[in-house]
Structure 1
Amino acid sequence: MFDQNLMVEAQKGELIISDSSPIYVRAMLEFFYTGDIKTLWESHVEGIFALAHKYEVEKLKYKCELFMASQLDSTNVLKCCNIISLYGAPTLEKRIKAAFE
Structure 2
Amino acid sequence: HRGAEMSAALGYWINSRFAGRGLTPLALAMVIDWGFASYGLHRLEVNIRPENSPSLRVVEKLGLRYEGLRQRFLYIDGAWRDHSSFAITTEEWHPGSTVARLETAR
Fold match (TM-score > 0.5): no
TM-score, L = length of structure 2: 0.27
TM-score, L = length of structure 1: 0.28
- Whichever of the two has the greater Rg, that structure is 1
Q: Which of the pair has the greater relative contact order for Cα pairs under 8 Å at 6+ separation?
A: 2
Q: Please state which structure has a larger fraction of its residues in strand.
A: 2
